[in-house]
Amino acid sequence: MPVIEFENVAYSYGGGELLSDISVKLAPGSFHFLTGPSGSGKTTLMKLCYGALLPTAGHVTLFGRDARSLDRDDIAMTRRRIGVVHQDCQFLNHMSVAENIGLPLTVSGRHAETGGDDLTELLAWVGLANRADALPPELSGGERQRAALARAVIMSPDVVLADEPTGNVDWEMSQRLLRLLIELNKMGKTVLIATHDLGLIRATKAHVQARVLRIANRRIQLAGADL
């Protein structure tokens, strides 16, 4: 069963249709890139994947359930299984980086049982061990992206969605973030990365079997191996 499935999905904002007739299946453990020009609807499609938006036509199925049938609590539960890294990642600015990364555990009431070991390990994994007590506004762009990634995966979610995760960082840092995502995929997570950086996609394809979904003319096209 695909973890996320789009069936003839369309989405329109007040004006006109942004996405139409989109059918995609994300199988468990798959690695997908989502690409397309700016404003083509990449972020909208990502939002449809975690229930922040509902399709105006067609069906989005998350873990086997129609997104329209989910109430607000169901959506909260679904998001515990989907880690999201935003292009412009937001944190709770009054809490330390470590507390922010542990926030998904806190809000799901699992803070006590998992304890601090996982958190310390994860901080080291994303290279933020020495920034644990810093406040989010003190972090650089790259550090924010890594903190957001750590927060997205701390619940060990089934799916990781990353929207332009390398948008604000230099090439070296983007390679590092990508390696983290590839590592997560090798651990069995389904990964979907929205990016318009074709170089990043090429660099990834050397390490993992990634499929590329391209949005053009409001529709999804499966890009070939030509990239």
Partner 1 sequence: MNMFQFAIAALWTGDRQADRVVPPSGFTAQLTLFAAGTMAFLAVFALAFSLASGRLATIWGQELARTATIRVVAPIDQRAAQTEAALRILETTKGVASARALTDAEQQALLTPWFGAELAIDALPVPRLIEIVEDNEGLDPEGLRLRLAAEVPGAVLDNHSRWRAPLVQAASRLKLLGWISTILITATLAAMVTLAANAALSANAQVIAVLRLVGATDSYIAQAFIRRFTFRALSGAATGTVLGVLAMLLLPSSDDVGGFLTGLGFEGRDWLAPVLIPFLAGAVAFAATGAAAKRTLKELA
| Interface residue with partner 1, options 18, 57, 103, 227 (CB under 8 A) | 103
Given a contact cutoff of 8 angstroms between Cβ atoms, the answer to whether 62 and 51 are in contact is yes
Report the C-alpha gap between 188 and 168 in whole angstroms.
27
| Interface residue with partner 1, options 2, 10, 17, 52 (CB under 8 A) | 52
CA 100 distance to own-chain centroid:
17
Binding flag, residue 95, partner 1 (CB under 8 A): yes
Q: Which residues contact 159 (CB under 8 A, 6 or more apart)?
A: 3, 4, 26, 49, 81, 82, 83, 189, 190, 191, 192
Nearer to partner 1, 182 or 194 (CB): 194
Binding flag, residue 56, partner 1 (CB under 8 A): no
> 147 to 186, contacts with partner 1 by CB under 8 A?
151, 155
Number of residues that bind partner 1 (CB under 8 A): 25
| Interface residue with partner 1, options 20, 31, 70, 79 (CB under 8 A) | 79
Span from 21-29, 57-65, 96-104, 114-122 in contact with partner 1 (CB under 8 A): 96-104
Report the C-alpha gap between 49 and 39 in whole angstroms.
17
Given a contact cutoff of 8 angstroms between Cβ atoms, the answer to whether 20 and 140 are in contact is no
Phi, psi of 90 (to 5 degrees): -110, 140
Binding flag, residue 88, partner 1 (CB under 8 A): no
Binding flag, residue 126, partner 1 (CB under 8 A): no
Find where tokens 């990016």 sit.
195
| Interface residue with partner 1, options 80, 207, 211, 219 (CB under 8 A) | 80
Span from 4-12, 97-105, 205-213, 219-227 in contact with partner 1 (CB under 8 A): 97-105
Query: Whole-number minimum distance, CB 216 to partner 1, in Å?
Result: 27
Which amino acid, one-letter code, is at 114?
T
Which amino acid, one-letter code, is at 157?
P
Q: Which residues contact 77 (CB under 8 A, 6 or more apart)?
A: none
Span from 8-16, 29-37, 88-96, 120-128 in contact with partner 1 (CB under 8 A): 88-96
* Cβ-based burial of 15 (10 A; exposed 0-12, middle 13-18, buried ≥19): exposed
DSSP state of 219: E
Positions that interact with partner 1 (CB under 8 A)? 52-53, 72-73, 76-77, 79-80, 84, 86, 90-95, 99, 103-104, 106-108, 111, 151, 155
